[in-house]
Amino acid sequence: MVRLHVKRGDESQFLLEAAGSARLADLAPLVARIYNGRLKVQRLCSEMQELAEHGVFLPYNMQGLTDEQIEELKLKDEWAEKCVPSGGSVFKKDEIGRRNGHAPNEKMQQVIKKTIEEAKALISRKQVQAGVCVNMEMVKDALDQLRGAVMIVYPMGLPPHDPVRMEFEDKEDLSGTHAGLEVIGESEAQLWWAGKELKETKLLSDYIGKNEKTTIIVKIQKKGQGAPGREPLISHEEQKQMMLYYYRKQEELKKLEEDDDDSFLNAEWADNHALKRQFHGVKDIKWRPR
Each residue's pLDDT expressed in tens, for the chain with a length of 290 residues: 899 999 998 899 999 999 999 999 999 999 999 999 999 999 999 999 999 999 999 999 999 888 899 889 999 988 988 999 999 999 999 999 999 999 999 999 999 999 999 999 999 999 999 999 999 999 999 999 999 999 999 999 999 999 999 999 999 989 888 999 999 999 999 999 988 999 999 999 999 988 888 999 999 999 888 788 766 666 677 788 888 888 888 888 887 777 655 555 566 666 677 767 766 666 666 666 65
Strands of the 189-193 sheet, one edge to the other: 11-18, 2-8, 215-222, 189-193, 196-197
pLDDT for res 266? 63
Domain spans, the chain: 2-222, 236-280
pLDDT for res 240? 84
Which DSSP state fits 32? Answer: H
pLDDT for res 187? 92
Classify burial at 141, counting beta carbons within 10 Å of its beta carbon; exposed 0-12, middle 13-18, buried 19 or more.
Answer: middle
| 150 closest CA partner among 78, 79, 44 | 44
Q: 207: how many CB neighbours lie within 10 A of its CB?
A: 17
Q: Which amino acid is at 223?
A: K
Number of residues that this document lists for the chain: 290
Determine the Cα–Cα distance for residues 85 and 108; give it in Å rounded to an integer.
Answer: 8
pLDDT for res 270? 63
Phi, psi of 72 (to 5 degrees): -65, -35
Determine the Cα–Cα distance for residues 167 and 3; give it in Å rounded to an integer.
Answer: 30
Q: Which residues pair with 191 in a beta bridge?
A: 220
Question: Which residue spans within the chain are E strands per DSSP?
Answer: 2-8, 11-18, 89-91, 102-104, 189-193, 196-197, 215-222
pLDDT for res 241? 85
pLDDT for res 3? 93
Determine the Cα–Cα distance for residues 26 and 17; give it in Å rounded to an integer.
Answer: 13
Q: In sequence order, what are the residues at sequence separation of 6 or more whose Cβ sits closer than 8 angstroms to the Cβ of residue 203?
A: 20, 21, 22, 23, 24
pLDDT for res 157? 93
Helix and strand numbers (H, E) in the chain are 10, 7
- What is the sign of the dihedral through the CA atoms of 65, 71, 73 and 76? positive
pLDDT for res 226? 78
Determine the Cα–Cα distance for residues 140 and 114; give it in Å rounded to an integer.
Answer: 18
Q: 159, 57 in Cβ contact below 8 A? A: yes
Phi, psi of 7 (to 5 degrees): -125, 155
Determine the Cα–Cα distance for residues 102 and 89; give it in Å rounded to an integer.
Answer: 5
Q: Which helix (H) or strand (E) holds 36?
A: helix 24-54
